[in-house]
A and B are shown apart, each in its own frame.
Chain A
Amino acid sequence: MSDLSWISNVISAARPQAMGALLRYFRDLDTAEEAFQDACLRALKNWPQNGPPRDPAAWLIFVGRNSGIDAVRKRSKQTAMPDEDQVSDLEDAETDIAERLDGAHYRDDILRLLFICCHPDLPPTQQIAVALRIVSGLSVKQIARAFLVGESAMEQRITRAKARIADAGVPFETPGAVERSERLAAVMAMVYLVFNEGYSTNSGEAQAREPLCEEAIRLGRLLLRLFQTEPEVMGLLALTLLQHARAPARFDANGEIVLLEDQDRKLWSGKMIEEGLALVDKALRHRKPGPYQVQAAVAALHARAAKAEDTDWQEIDLLYSLLESMQPSPVVTLNRAVAVSKVRGAEEALAMIEPLEDRLSGYFHFFGLKGGLLMKLGRHDEARVAFDRAIALANTAAEAAHIRMHIDRLKAEATQGKSEKAS
């Protein structure tokens, strides 16, 4: 690994804390970003010569703050601040100052930095793009690639979103306990959005979008480091790890989606699963269940099953019914119905999802499941109707292909049935 790529890793690791502190000093996102950029340039010049600082974040905050103040002074034609060569990080005095200034604040600094990206006026995709730019420090080019749009379009989108954030005014007061937990909830939702943006994809795009999943996991770890005892943050990180662990098995050689029950489980990432399971264990000890923990627990049951047949559907049914009571939604009920069909049969599952048809009339998975259940019950004509609806609603070619496979089976059984009658 070259010196420069080593430095860029150190900078990106220090970024959230440094940006968060600079935003607090300057109370303006653009000034903070400029100051941070300037500190990075100086780091690229200084670190290879003088060796790495003991505390890179403190160094970047200190140098960034000086350069920001310097910029303001230059504008008002005053004398410049001392050169960064005089800022020796080996002299602990300065690091200590920076640390004393920031140690107490860093949790709220990073939370604020994440929180400003969650402004309710911003549509989800803009929240994600801004968070990746400001917090993760991905380049506009990298973000554009993950969103499958052109660089200039993404540049515009981010500029517009940042202007909106500036208009809204950044909340600088130190949050109280209630406010802090509200901010945390908004930030967790945003991190999960980042993850889903990377996860819900079809074959050709999977590789381009994978960095979004990795970034979400990194943000989840960052959040858990700040809120070590929050079981929902453990749940969120566990959920993203356990889902992303399946990434290597989600597409076949032709790039077609492989359903969970057909995936080659040996391809799942054992390391991610172990970390996810460890976090689920930790969260459960708190006995304070929440939606992320419950979803993580479902993912954990899938991860624990060595073969699809070993899946503990009974427990999954229970977990989804818990999730239904926390977060009622037709999609959650639909997911529960899959478990119900395995535990108590297709008839009961069908009865469960039929009332949802109005609300899920545009949802591919509803008609896919409905068709599958009807087929199991031998109601082939109705199954065919549901499958046709599913194909019309399919989001990807792979989804449509999967349904066509069922229709072919229906046809095969129909001809078989006729020939049996004839004989």
Chain B
Amino acid sequence: MLYAVLCYASEDVVGSWTKEQDDAVMVKLLDVQERYAKANKLGPVARLLPTTAATTLRKVKGESLVIDGPFAETKEQFLGFYTVDVENLDEALQFARELSEVNPSGGSYEIRPISIFSPATVKS
């Protein structure tokens, strides 16, 4: 089963990490990913730039409106996502649990089954 694991946390908090703190967290998160990658269970992964860099396109009365900023103003922001191909929800939750154990941001992970999946054609 393919799942998207969506990461939400306060970007104020994540943004207050020093480069060293951020690097240390990334190393630990990569460790977790590597285990799943070795088992051929890890799909594309993305970390997003801060929401200040976001632009939102909205359809209002049939016209598309371009708005500066993220889709919604929230206390926690959508900061990135993983895709995993795992047995079941339990295993997807286990993956999220391993991520959250090494991530001090205190955020949340939303585990969401994927409906349509087209593997990457863009190289990073």
Q: In the complex, A275→B13 CA distance in Å?
A: 18
Q: In the complex, A228→B68 CA distance in Å?
A: 6
- Interface SS majority for chain B: mixed
**Interface membership of B100, Cβ < 8 A:** no
Pick the contact of B53 from A10, A13, A279 — CB < 8 Å?
A279
**Contact sample, A vs B, 20 pairs, CB 8 Å cutoff:** A1-B24, A1-B25, A5-B21, A6-B104, A6-B106, A9-B17, A9-B104, A10-B10, A10-B106, A13-B13, A55-B75, A224-B52, A228-B68, A228-B69, A229-B67, A229-B68, A275-B49, A275-B50, A278-B49, A282-B53
**Interface membership of B64, Cβ < 8 A:** no
**Interface membership of A14, Cβ < 8 A:** yes
**Interface membership of B12, Cβ < 8 A:** yes
**Interface membership of A42, Cβ < 8 A:** no
> Are B68 and A282 in touch, CB under 8 angstroms?
yes
Q: In the complex, A22→B53 CA distance in Å?
A: 30
Q: Report B-chain residues with C-beta under 8 Å of the C-beta of A285.
A: 66
A58 (CB) vs chain B CBs: closest residue: B75
Q: In the complex, A54→B69 CA distance in Å?
A: 23
CB distance from A2 to the nearest CB of B (A): 9
Q: In the complex, A224→B52 CA distance in Å?
A: 6
Q: In the complex, A13→B75 CA distance in Å?
A: 12
Pick the contact of B55 from A5, A52, A214, A282 — CB < 8 Å?
A282
CB distance from A277 to the nearest CB of B (A): 9
A14 (CB) vs chain B CBs: closest residue: B12
Q: In the complex, A218→B16 CA distance in Å?
A: 8
Q: In the complex, A55→B18 CA distance in Å?
A: 22
Known: A1-B21, A228-B69, A282-B68. A9 touches B16 (CB 8 A): yes
Known: A14-B12, A228-B68. A279 touches B52 (CB 8 A): yes
Interface residues of A in 227-286 (CB under 8 A from B): 228-229, 234, 237, 271, 274-275, 278-279, 282, 285
**Interface membership of A411, Cβ < 8 A:** no
CB distance from A92 to the nearest CB of B (A): 12
Q: Report A-chain residues with C-beta under 8 Å of the C-beta of B67.
A: 229
Known: A1-B25, A1-B104. A9 touches B13 (CB 8 A): yes
Encode A207-234 as 1/0 by CB contact (under 8 A) with B. 0000000100010010011001100001
Chain B contributes a number of interface residues (CB within 8 A of A) equal to 23
Interface residues of B in 15-36 (CB under 8 A from A): 15-18, 21, 24-25
Interface residues of A in 1-59 (CB under 8 A from B): 1, 5-6, 9-10, 12-14, 52, 54-55
Known: A9-B13, A13-B10, A52-B106. A278 touches B53 (CB 8 A): yes
Q: In the complex, A214→B20 CA distance in Å?
A: 13
Given contacts A10-B10, A278-B49, 7 further A-B contacts (CB under 8 A): A1-B25, A9-B21, A55-B75, A221-B50, A228-B52, A229-B68, A234-B52
CB distance from A51 to the nearest CB of B (A): 9
Q: Report B-chain residues with C-beta under 8 Å of the C-beta of A278.
A: 49, 53
CB distance from A248 to the nearest CB of B (A): 11
> Are A13 and B16 in touch, CB under 8 angstroms?
yes
B52 (CB) vs chain A CBs: closest residue: A224
> Are A218 and B52 in touch, CB under 8 angstroms?
no
Encode A46-79 as 1/0 by CB contact (under 8 A) with B. 0000001011000000000000000000000000
CB distance from B67 to the nearest CB of A (A): 8
Interface residues of B in 90-124 (CB under 8 A from A): 104, 106
Q: Report B-chain residues with C-beta under 8 Å of the C-beta of A52.
A: 106
Q: Report A-chain residues with C-beta under 8 Å of the C-beta of B69.
A: 228-229
Q: In the complex, A282→B53 CA distance in Å?
A: 8
Known: A10-B106, A229-B68. A221 touches B15 (CB 8 A): yes
Q: Report A-chain residues with C-beta under 8 Å of the C-beta of B68.
A: 228-229, 234, 282
Q: In the complex, A282→B50 CA distance in Å?
A: 14
B66 (CB) vs chain A CBs: closest residue: A285
Q: Report B-chain residues with C-beta under 8 Å of the C-beta of A54.
A: 75
Encode A274-307 as 1/0 by CB contact (under 8 A) with B. 1100110010010000000000000000000000
Name the 6 nearest CB pairs between A and B, nearest first: A13-B12, A228-B69, A278-B53, A1-B104, A224-B52, A13-B13
Q: Report B-chain residues with C-beta under 8 Å of the C-beta of A13.
A: 10, 12-13, 15-16
Known: A6-B106, A12-B16. A275 touches B75 (CB 8 A): no
CB distance from B54 to the nearest CB of A (A): 9
Q: Report B-chain residues with C-beta under 8 Å of the C-beta of A282.
A: 53, 55, 68
